[in-house]
Amino acid sequence: MIVITYLLETSGSVEALAAKIASDQSTGTFVPVPGETEELKNRAAARVLAIRPMDPVPVPSLPQDGLAGPFNRAEADIGFPFDAVGTDLSALMTIAIGGAYSIRGLSGIRVVGMKLPDEFRGVYPGPQFGVPGTRRLTGVHGRPVIGTIIKPALGLRPPEAAVIIKELIASGVDFIKDDEKLMSPAYSPLSERVAAIMPLVLDHEQKTGKKVMYAFGISHIDPDQMMRNHDLVVKAGGNAAVVNINSIGMGAMAFLRRRSRLVLHAHRNGWDILTRHPGLGMDFSVWQQFWRLLGVDQFQINGIGSKYWEPDQSFVRSFKAVTTPLFSPEDCPMPVAGSGQWGGQAPETYARTGRTVDLLYLCGGGIVSHPSGPAAGVVAVQQAWQATVQGIPLQIYAQSHPELRQAIEKFGRDGKGA
């Protein structure tokens, strides 16, 4: 049985609403029809398993013309027989989630839980690389993989980008990525970008033995073109790609993963609108299950003190979600803390995510804009994590570590981001 938990809100009865969802999303229709036998219902009918009432709210999540509150709320568990859905994730999305959003008579609906049965085990490939693959390819062990992003986000031509990237590679950073908005525009076609950047990566590897993981923006609306983009990167010796999962969609992700030889770094832009209203949409804990099964290797989930709307607590929950096995530890992607990060968030990130260093810690301006340049920026982030893991306050550690001291002076004024 597949169990979905909905946060329901209605001016009417939450019990009736839950029953309606179960019916509409399985055997129901709007008038009784012949053929809906008891045997058939047993085969396919969804059932309300539990209802946990919550405090009503005075303001509805969806504006309700002419309806005064309070609006009743409850969490409802609905069980879908496995045979009514099967393991196809597009069927799961259609039956258990998509259709429920269209139902009348509710003032709010949010999918807050999804428990997949053991029939799903092994059906999907999951991450190809995840944490172990990322560590193996970067050669980074015992500390977070430290990454950065090319800025400005848009507009740099490949030769202009290469100047910046050369400096970043030399800085000792482990991972560099295209901004998620950079895919293959006229001023920076992917082929030219790969041609400009990969020789720098390989040259540095030859000289130092360290291969920086560079994730190229390969997303394209046409999966065939996306695969050609993928192949370009592979052929040039690259080992990673940024994939805008929400823009290409689940099917294209399945298509890519099945053929991929790259570490797939997921950016979830667009996702926010599905989760930002607490009474509507979906929890990340649900949504991420789809993408993990499909094979995301590295999952961007913002970070402490991010520059976006997402509160720290939501990042912490997301971190826990992606690091909790669905069926086995191998289905966990590497969490990516990013947005507004510099070393300053290391202590809080570490303390609130289970004291692990198994993450990709992504600093854009936090590295690039270090007063002494990107190399000092990378060192400062490394120092912040050294201090954190050793339990030494950053201010103390900074006394003997000038790069970290400079970073704190520049970025640390508000205690968090720049």
Binding to a copy of itself, residues 32-61 (CB under 8 A): 32-36, 40-41, 43-45, 59, 61
Compute the chain's Rg from CA coordinates: 24
Q: Give residue 140's region: left, alpha or beta (phi > 0; psi -120 to 50).
A: beta
> Closest CB to a copy of itself among 155 and 329?
155
Q: What order of strands is seen across the sheet that includes strand 108-115? A: 47-57, 71-80, 2-10, 108-115, 280-282
97 binds a copy of itself (CB under 8 A): yes
Site for a copy of itself in 200-239 (CB under 8 A): 219-224, 226
One of 53, 70, 132, 278 touching a copy of itself (CB under 8 A)? 278
> Closest CB to a copy of itself among 272 and 312?
272
Site for a copy of itself in 366-395 (CB under 8 A): 368-369
330 binds a copy of itself (CB under 8 A): no
Length of the chain: 418
Closest C-alpha among 164, 65, 77 to residue 112 = 77
Q: Which two tokens stand for residue 208?
A: 């130092």
Site for a copy of itself in 137-176 (CB under 8 A): 151-156, 160, 163-164
Q: Rounded to 5 degrees, what angle do the CA atoms 56, 61, 62 make?
A: 130
CA pair distance 405, 383, nearest whole angstrom: 10
**Residue 234's Cα: distance from chain center in Å?**
23
187 binds a copy of itself (CB under 8 A): yes
> Closest CB to a copy of itself among 22 and 131?
22
> Closest CB to a copy of itself among 25 and 353?
25
89 binds a copy of itself (CB under 8 A): yes
One of 12, 56, 86, 113 touching a copy of itself (CB under 8 A)? 86
One of 52, 121, 235, 277 touching a copy of itself (CB under 8 A)? 277
One of 5, 10, 27, 406 touching a copy of itself (CB under 8 A)? 27
Closest distance to a copy of itself from the beta carbon of 226 (Å): 7
DSSP structure string for 104-134: SS-SEEEEEEEE--GGGTTTS---SSHHHHH
Q: How far is CA 87 from CA 92, 161, 256, 260, 329, in A?
A: 7, 43, 19, 22, 20
130 binds a copy of itself (CB under 8 A): no
Site for a copy of itself in 305-324 (CB under 8 A): 307-310
Half-sphere exposure of 120 (CA within 13 A, CB side): 24
> Closest CB to a copy of itself among 120 and 214?
120
User: How many binding residues for a copy of itself (CB under 8 A)?
Assistant: 100
